Amino acid sequence: MLGRAVLRRSATVFGTAWRYAQGSGRNASAIAMTAAVAGESFPVLRAAQRVPFASASVLARGYSTSLNIHRNTPENNPKVGFEFTEANMEKVKEILSHYPSNYKQSGVIPLLDLAQQQHGGWLSISAMNKVADILGVPYIRVYEVATFYSMFNRQKVGKYHIHVCGTTPCMVRGSRSIELAILEHLGVKRNEVTPDGMFSVGEMECMGCCVNAPMIAVADYSNGVEGYSYNYYEDLTPESAVKILEMLKRGEKPKVGTQNPKRVNAEPEGGRTTLTTTPSGPYCRDLDAATV
């Protein structure tokens, strides 16, 4: 209730200021009034942002702009340095070799991904700054990318970071019960890390496996860059999801893909009903023989 109240208050403050500025022809006094009243609302928004999750769960899930805010902590501030390892600097050079020298900023996503893998699955402010220095761009250009894509984590995650798909096809097939089973089994809430640092759980939007819904993706940061993997586990039940967690905890490799023993990949139970024979061809035109 507190979260909704402060947001309503903020909307009222901004609305009043804007209507006043418009009605006054946006003269100097009106603009000053708008700035003053808008300034009053910032503490209100900040108060909304600080409402504990338990007392404002709707606000905490919907107030997505809070994801774009960085606050220094003892382990995540510009004074805590980040450097790519010698081996990863070779990877950096290889990545940048794919782009013209005047467009090397286009390598921001693969470089951030490499930094995240090296850094245990998350990006510190120093890691983002290092990527910006390598690319020769302002820091804000890297922050814009890192805060836009949900694949980048800007707080610590577990060695196994679990993404539960929450989009409609998975939801109607029971993704909420999958997530609940995982959270209860691990004893954490969403976006928390287990005390042993092994697991963390987040929500991800559609990952393209709607035909095999519900599904989860697991990012494996347990073995650094060389051992990094990102695997899909599909056709889940609460029981099979928990089984996958237990296998990962024991250091085993669960079967990737569908967990339904009656299916092969994305085929229906019982096997294919169409395309049951190999097409006779030709499969495409002969490109080597083409003259145009």
All residues at 6 or more sequence positions from 105 whose CB lies less than 8 Å from its CB, including other chains:
135, 136, 137, 141
What pLDDT, on the 0 to 100 scale, is given for residue 167? Answer: 93
The structural domains of the chain, with segments of one domain joined by +, span 2-68, 86-148, 160-258
What pLDDT, on the 0 to 100 scale, is given for residue 97? Answer: 95
Give the predicted TM-score (pTM) of the model: 0.69
Determine contact, residues 118/225, Cβ cutoff 8 Å.
yes
The CA distance from 114 to 95, in Å, is 10
All residues at 6 or more sequence positions from 101 whose CB lies less than 8 Å from its CB, including other chains:
none
What pLDDT, on the 0 to 100 scale, is given for residue 153? Answer: 92
What pLDDT, on the 0 to 100 scale, is given for residue 239? Answer: 97
Helix (H, G, I), strand (E, B) or coil at 112: helix
Name the helix (H) or strand (E) containing 264: none
pLDDT tens column, 10-59: 445 445 444 544 554 445 454 444 455 455 555 544 554 454 444 434 33
What pLDDT, on the 0 to 100 scale, is given for residue 136? Answer: 95
Provide, for the chain, the percentages of residues in helix, strand and coil under a 3-state DSSP scheme, each rounded to the nearest 5: 50, 10, 40
Is the pLDDT score of 109 beyond 80?
yes
Residue whose C-alpha is closest to residue 182's, from 155, 211, 208, 216: 216
Domain 160-258 has CATH 3.40.30.10: yes
Pairing of strands 257-258, 229-234: parallel
Confidence band of 240 (pLDDT split at 50, 70, 90): very high
pLDDT tens column, 212-235: 999 999 999 988 888 899 999 999
Which H, E and C letters describe 193-252, residue by residue?
ECCCCCEEEEEECCCCCHHHCCCEEEEECCCCCCCCEEEEEECCCHHHHHHHHHHHHCCC
